[in-house]
Amino acid sequence: MCIHNILSVGLTAILSLGCGNLWAGETIDRQEPTHRYGIGQAATDQEIQAWNIDVAPTGEGLPPGQGTAQEGAALFASRCAACHGATGQEGPKDRLVGGAGTLAGQQPIKTIGSYWPYATTLYDYIHRAMPFSAPQSLSPNEVYSVVAWLLHQNGIIAKDLVLNAQSLPTISMPNRHGFVQDPRPDVPKP
């Protein structure tokens, strides 16, 4: 910031102070500069790669690798079943399998098969946050395999379908069109 700019910002602040009524709770607008502050550092490629783990519905962000439900079965049993049950339905944590046709009922069962709109979200979430006790510990092949097993358990893909960065975004989820925009305020006034 050059001296001229510092002076003009300072002058604006003083003028504003003179006009504003602080005690009435008015705020004084602080002018944004016309240039950047020049704070921070350019991110390196390594820094971006280490954290850029999100996977979009388009498949953007999916890594190389692959897996099938057959390969995922043993992995689910050893790394996931303790919390989600042997078939993904028993809990004690979130139920992952089943629930088709229950969403409009009195006791809806929200699972991957009945509720999740995108298969890509499975990859994103399992990789970033699961297993609960060791998040981000699964390799890409392991994540693809567990995703495949879960989709197969829900009757969405065949047991031998190979999931990878190309095939996963093409999986059509049963509840893909089950979501609507927020219409609130929605309750009529009394």
Partner 1 sequence: MTRRLETDEPAGDERRPEEEGASLLNRRSLLAGAASMVGTIVLKSMTGSAEAATPVAPDDPTRVPGKIPSPYGQRSAFETATRKLRAQSASLTPLQDSHGILTPSALHFERHHNGVPTINPTHHRLLVHGLVDQPWTFTVDDLKRFPAVSRLAFIECSGNSAIEWRGPTGKTVQETHGLTSTSEWTGVALKTLLREVGASPEASWMLAEGSDAAAMTRSLPLSSVLDEALVCYAQNGEPLRPEQGYPLRLVIPGWEGNTCIKWLRRLKLGRAPFMTREETSHYTDLMPDGTARQFTMIMEAKSVITSPSGGQRIQPGFLEIRGLAWSGRGRITEVEVSVDGGRSWQRAALQDPVLPKCHTRFYLPWRWSGEDVILQSRCQDETGYRQPDHASLVAVRGTNSFYHYNAIQSWQIAADGHVSHVHP
Q: Which of 18, 64, 92, 190 binds partner 1 (CB under 8 A)?
A: 190
Contact map string, positions 56 to 85, toward partner 1, x by CB under 8 A: xx----------------------------
Identified binder of partner 1 from the candidate list 2, 14, 22, 41, rule CB under 8 A: 41
Residue 128 contacts partner 1 per CB under 8 A: yes
| C-alpha distances in Å from residue 154, one per residue of 96, 114, 128, 150, 181 | 8, 8, 22, 6, 26
* CA gap 156, 122 in Å, rounded: 13
H/E stretch holding 5 = helix 3-19
CB of 111 to partner 1, least distance (A): 9
Q: Is 185 in the site for partner 1 (CB under 8 A)?
A: yes
Q: Tell me: does residue 46 bind partner 1 (CB under 8 A).
A: no
Interface size with partner 1, residues (CB under 8 A): 50
80 token code pair: 């996931």
**22 contributes a contact to partner 1 by CB under 8 A:** no
**Listed ranges 70-78, 144-152, 164-172, 173-181: which one lies at the site for partner 1 (CB under 8 A):** 173-181
- Read off the amino acid at residue 103: L
Minimal CA–CA distance to 160: which of 171, 150, 172, 149? Answer: 149
Query: 59 or 65: whose CB is closer to partner 1?
Result: 59
**Burial label, 113 (beta-carbon count in 10 A; 0-12, 13-18, 19+):** buried
3-class DSSP state of 163: strand
Distance between CA atoms of 133 and 186, rounded to whole angstroms?
40
Q: Which of residues 86-125 bind partner 1 (CB under 8 A)?
A: 103-104, 106, 108, 110, 112, 115-118, 120-121, 124-125
How far is CA 78 from its chain centroid?
Answer: 25
187 binds partner 1 (CB under 8 A): yes
Q: Which is nearer to partner 1, 82 or 162 (CB)?
A: 82
CA Rg, the chain, in Å? Answer: 26
Residue ranges binding partner 1 (CB under 8 A): 25, 30, 32, 36-37, 39-43, 47-48, 51-54, 56-57, 103-104, 106, 108, 110, 112, 115-118, 120-121, 124-125, 128-129, 132, 135-136, 178-190
